[in-house]
Structure 1
Amino acid sequence: MNKDGLRDLNETIGSKPQNGLDDVKAVIVVLSGKGGVGKSTVAANLAAGLAMEGKRTGLLDVDVHGPSIPRLLKLGDCRPAMTGTFMVPVEWHWNLGVMSIGFLLPGKDDAVIWRGPAKAGVIEQLAKQVAWGERDVLVVDCPPGTGDEPLSVLQIFEDKAMAVIVTSPQDMAVDDVRRSVTFCRQLSTPILGIVENLSGFVCPSCGAVHDIFSAGGGERLAAETGVPFLGRIPIDSEVARSGDDGDVFLAVASQNPSALAFKAVIASVLKALEAKPAATA
């Protein structure tokens, strides 16, 4: 999408950012310094799991160049309604509302060709000009790295923001994800914990978990940096299938090893949220 596309998008969602975040109690920003670690899958299942636990939840996808959330939740053909000058989140579940730039693109194959300031402006609109209403928690799926998009998100949400950092177990990923820990600390953003995704492989025949990468990198990083470790999530072919088909993994395979691992992570996040004092508006 070029500059004309940016103009059209601004006309669609309004040119003046407003604040629909006043009644959002807490924000969980899902980050990773490394691409390909399953961050969007973790974000989608975290949001869905919180909603299924009774939390009034929002999910905001700010990956401008590669929005994955519409596919992961089978919402690819949806468009947000408007109420006044605010967009209304697309409903996945009665307790989960979703917003993504993917809902606003003219076509699924359109590329977004924007520089940093344009991206920051649209991310602010996607956050503030949405009628989130009363939400216990808003989960934000960021693109990998420590650049424009994650920086914009943490600055927009300020003291409401907390981070969940996703890594895979191998050292190459952990080296990059370590920078995400430093990034959050430099911005004074509390870190709820680290998730080690793609941690072992669940055999579809016997259910045993085999370490096909190195194991324990995320847990070691958590120990080295003094950050809580939220748990390991093994590779499962059902996770990949459900993501491609738009079926939320936790909703379709609630008792397999990876789903139980997701539930343990969600339980740890819930406990951390309950322990955190509410942020002031």
Structure 2
Amino acid sequence: MSRGKNLFFNCLTFVFVILTVIMAGLMFNIATDAMEPPFFAPKPTQVIPTVAALASPTPKPSWTPSLTATPTNTFTPSSTPTETPPQPSATNTATMTPSITFTPSITGTFTPSATVTPSPTNTLQPPTFTPTKTLTPTPSATWTPTYTPTGPTATSTPEFPYIVQPGSISLRQATNAAGCNWQGIGGQVTTDRAEPIAGVQIRVRGDTLAEQSTLSGTNMAYGPSGWEIQVAALTNTERYYIDLWIDNQQVSDTVQIVFPNSCQQNLAVVNFIRTRPS
């Protein structure tokens, strides 16, 4: 803005200087023309003087041009600008003021932890199938204590004085020479202190076998109170039932035996013990 104003005043000053020069030239021409008579001025009349009378010469008008300056408004340019040039304004200078900025940082805290060492990984290999002989389960002798009621009306199961000796039921090969042409049941009857008891009746019956009986103490191969009953002439898988009787009174639970139809397991051993006097 200040630069534009300066240029304007400079141009205006130049114009006034030119006008001043022109006016000075005009004034000079006017002054020069005033020194010469004008072309339209009348020539003076020559008067022949007479001797007769001396008269005062009549003054004749004469036109003497005088230079009269016509007052004009003269503008004298001045190189001094009337407008006060703009003063330089203060320049805001950024001042860097050093400051300390605290930047928080995360400090890792070391927490000891157990290091798991990987153990060797067992690589699964495809299974190798080796043909093996499949064993067919062989039926074993089982016994299920049952109560066979006597008389027309069933009553609550009594507590019999004779029970099967725990763990005594087993299947084995008979010691006779009959082999597969024999199948039977044997054992002994004792007290709970292993004292032999003779004269106790053992009754055996099967699905196709009529009831057979014998007394304890009739077969010493099983002990002083041993007994044995043949149930078949050939090995089979028939089910058999065994119980003890004294004076036509059942004194033990009924035991069930099932044979596996094997020549090596054609003898079932069942021992009974008395837990209290009958």
Question: What's the TM-score bracket when you normalise by the shorter of the two chains?
Answer: under 0.3
Bigger relative CO (Cα 8 Å, ≥ 6 apart) = 1
For the pair shown, the structure with the greater C-alpha radius of gyration is 2
